[in-house]
Amino acid sequence: MRDKPQILGSRIVARSRLFQVEELDLRFANGTEVSYERLRGAGRGSVLVVPMLDADNLLLVREYAAGVHRYELGFPKGLVEPGESPLEAANREMMEEVGYGSRALEYLTSFTVAPGYLEFSTDVVLARELYEQRCPGDEPETIEVVPWRLSQAAELLMREDFTEARSIAALLLVKEKLNHGG
Amino acid sequence: MRDKPQILGSRIVARSRLFQVEELDLRFANGTEVSYERLRGAGRGSVLVVPMLDADNLLLVREYAAGVHRYELGFPKGLVEPGESPLEAANREMMEEVGYGSRALEYLTSFTVAPGYLEFSTDVVLARELYEQRCPGDEPETIEVVPWRLSQAAELLMREDFTEARSIAALLLVKEKLNHGG
């Protein structure tokens, strides 16, 4: 394994309410020096939850996605609040977005989003043994909950509004896990 | 389907060499008004290629990822250059990063990365019938090519340096496609 490039210097070159762009001066093991820009996160992780009503029925949400200016289908997700564990954050996000809590939360894996330029990562949580429990969220409009059958994953993957790589990867991981008796 | 929120105004609130942060003033269908920040892309798409040497052997690359400051395994990817189609970009990126061209490029799907705040999307291309052909790229160091067997996808998914949701989703989509005789 190669040594990581050495960070010779770094500075914030742009800043907004949500984002900080950091410029890194790097020296690679072969001596090449380059500057890269990356986005710094808020220092908090995020979670994505796959809520299963039973062995075949999962819950999706349809939400406005400002980056692409359209409604997108995907799994509930959100930032981990200070003091929360990722599993607690997953349970809260589910209560806020789909109106259920879970008695069987299971950490599956952690995704990076675009590791070349984003610091963010997302823990993926499988939620089973659901019970009805709604908490108020901070969304600008009520979130539409869309039930879907895991056995009809192929149809979901064909939809033009189910495009986010994290939701696609989580769907396929859960499908493999549950079909193999996990 | 709901109407999209109306964009009441927008402005660039931060800018660096690579990134532009745009603030959008939105009015949702229920009358709620909020401001969201999103990152604008360069107006160019990106591609991710799954290069298959034969029915079971695929090629990964190990590259430094500045966002998380470590080396990451994943599929070759890059921006579409002006005048290129996504398939042409996929072929060029393969020649630059793994030293192969392809006589059988197939568009599979398009991923968004984080549609809530990123405009970017990535076309996923399956590349078969490879031939040796290397083109110089613009990477700061030679890229390490890592062959992997599709039949050992489970081991790849367990690795701590194979975390990017786009690569995981592409791996699982190709595995499903090829196991079903696509």
- In chain A, the residue whose alpha carbon lies closest to the alpha carbon of B169 is A169
Which residues of chain A does B37 touch, with a Cβ-Cβ cutoff of 8 Å?
A: 16-19
Inter-residue contact B99 to B145 (CB < 8 Å): yes
pLDDT for the residue B41: 74
Question: How many Å is the Cα radius of gyration of chain B?
Answer: 19
A149 class by beta-carbon count within 10 Å (0-12 exposed, 13-18 middle, 19+ buried): exposed
Domains in chain A: ranges and CATH: 6-40 (no CATH), 46-179 (3.90.79.10)
Query: B179: pLDDT confidence band, cut at 50, 70 and 90?
Result: confident
Enumerate residues 6+ apart whose C-beta is below 8 A from B125: B47, B48, B49, B50, B86, B87, B90, B105, B106, B107, B108
- In chain A, the residue whose alpha carbon lies closest to the alpha carbon of B6 is A69
Alpha-carbon distance A91 to nearest alpha carbon in chain B (angstroms):
21
- What pLDDT, in 10s, does the model give residues B67-105? 999 999 999 999 999 999 999 999 999 999 999 999 999
Task: Measure the CA–CA gap between B29 and B98, rounded to whole angstroms.
Answer: 49
CB contact under 8 A, B114 and A116: no
Kindly state the percentage of chain B with pLDDT values over 70.
Answer: 98
- In chain B, the residue whose alpha carbon lies closest to the alpha carbon of A122 is B165
Between A106 and B41, where is the model more confident? A106
- In chain B, the residue whose alpha carbon lies closest to the alpha carbon of A142 is B30
Kindly state the percentage of chain B with pLDDT values over 90.
Answer: 90
Which residues of chain A does B68 touch, with a Cβ-Cβ cutoff of 8 Å?
A: 112, 115, 119, 121
CB contact under 8 A, A4 and B117: no
pLDDT for the residue B180: 65
Q: Is the pLDDT of residue B42 over 80?
A: no
Inter-residue contact A7 to A24 (CB < 8 Å): yes
Q: Which candidate from B66, B144, B165 shows the least CB-CB separation from A117?
A: B66
CB contact under 8 A, A119 and B24: no
Alpha-carbon distance B16 to nearest alpha carbon in chain A (angstroms):
6
Which residues of chain A does B182 touch, with a Cβ-Cβ cutoff of 8 Å?
A: none
Q: Which of B159, B131, B110 is nearest to B52 (CA)?
A: B131
- What pLDDT, in 10s, does the model give residues A37-75? 999 977 789 999 999 999 999 999 999 999 999 999 999
Q: Is A88 helix (H, G, I), strand (E, B) or coil?
A: helix
- How high is the mean pLDDT of chain A? 95
Q: Which candidate from A7, A18, A163 shows the least CB-CB separation from B37?
A: A18
Which residues of chain B does A4 touch, with a Cβ-Cβ cutoff of 8 Å?
A: 64, 69-71
